[in-house]
Amino acid sequence: MTEKWLHNDIADNVCWVEQAICDACAKAGRSREEVTLVGVTKTVEPERVNAALAAGLTHIGENYVQELLRKKPELQLDGVKLDLIGHLQTNKVKQIVGQVNTIQSVDSLRLATAISKASVAAGITSHVLVELNIGEEQSKTGLPKAEVAELLAQMAELPHIHVDGLMCIPPILDTETARRKVFSEMYQMFLDMRAKKLDNIDMNTLSMGMSSDFTEAILEGSTMVRVGTALFGHRPRKSM
Ligand SMILES: *Cc1c(COP(=O)(O)O)cnc(C)c1O
């Protein structure tokens, strides 16, 4: 009984987030098609993920390789894209290559090389985003701004790996002005890298904006928002 109520709740949330994205696009003078909603499903049981998919969500992201692989067979993924958005360790690369649409968290040449090698071995091309540590925070993964151009140039030489864009998790900032400034800086970086027209690199995805700030991210040029809490509620402290 509570289950049924939960499902309805998730459908309401999908509706609400969808409407908020439409509003943000309208405010930004952008078309709704320019922004992809990725539902972040870490710690969310497959049944509740499926409820969100039934409610119209078409793209989801998981943080942990083990959790993703465990849940994947239970998900109704027909016509749905599944990305890895969390930090990826080099020793897990072989397990994840071929299992997702996009790996959003490439932040070193070592990792990119491992993905390239595993993709060659599997006979596929892996699509990835390069993750930036835009706030240059010590505690966070992601590449410092100053190293992005060099990594992209190196990745352009790697076989069977294709960069689709950039991703970031910005620092927590108090004011809308400060948050928008960081998103705008990210957008500028995205345009600068796109202008380079490197091999194997199409800058068409800028993945930024989460539950608390996706409107601001869309106003500053985000093409992909990753929303967890606003769809599934607050997460338990520990991962599954
Ligand atoms: C958890 C997570 C999100 C979603 O965060 P919410 O605040 O719950 O919307 C987005 N991106 C990444 C990389 C995450 O780990």
CA of 42 to the centre of ligand 1 (A): 8
What pLDDT digit, counting tens, does each position of 105-137 carry?
999 999 999 999 999 999 999 999 999 999 888
CA of 60 to the centre of ligand 1 (A): 11
**Cα–Cα distance measured from residue 129 to residue 107, given in angstroms and rounded to the nearest whole number:** 9
Q: Which residues pair with 111 in a beta bridge?
A: none
What pLDDT digit, counting tens, does each position of 184-221 carry?
999 999 999 999 999 989 999 999 999 999 999 999 99
What pLDDT digit, counting tens, does each position of 143-152 carry?
999 999 999 9
Q: Who wins on pLDDT, 138 or 39?
A: 39
CA of 102 to the centre of ligand 1 (A): 16
Average pLDDT over residues 162-177: 95
Give the chain as a 3 state SS string. Answer: CHHHHHHHHHHHHHHHHHHHHHHHHHHHCCCHHHCEEEEECCCCCHHHHHHHHHCCCCEEEECCHHHHHHHHHHCCCCCCEEEECCCCCHHHHHHHCCCCCEEEEECCHHHHHHHHHHHHHHCCCEEEEEEECCCCCCCCCCECHHHHHHHHHHHCCCCCEEEEEEEECCCCCCCHHHHHHHHHHHHHHHHHHHHCCCCCEEEEEEECCCCCCHHHHHHCCCCEEEECHHHHCCCCCCCC
pLDDT at site 238: 58
Indicate if the pLDDT at residue 240 is higher than 60. no
DSSP state string for 195-213: HT--TTEEEEEEE---TTT
Tell me the best of 68, 226, 234 to mutate to test the pocket of ligand 1, counting ligand atoms within 8 Å of each CB and taking the most. 226
Which residue minimizes the CA distance to atom 7 of ligand 1? 211
Average pLDDT over residues 153-180: 96
What pLDDT digit, counting tens, does each position of 65-104 carry?
999 999 999 999 999 999 999 999 999 999 999 999 999 9
Would the pTM of this model clear 0.85, i.e. be above it? yes
Which SS3 state, helix, strand or coil, does residue 60 take? strand
Could you tell me the domains of the chain? 3-232 (3.20.20.10)
Indicate if the pLDDT at residue 4 is higher than 70. no
Indicate if the pLDDT at residue 6 is higher than 90. no
Q: Chain-wide mean pLDDT for the chain?
A: 94
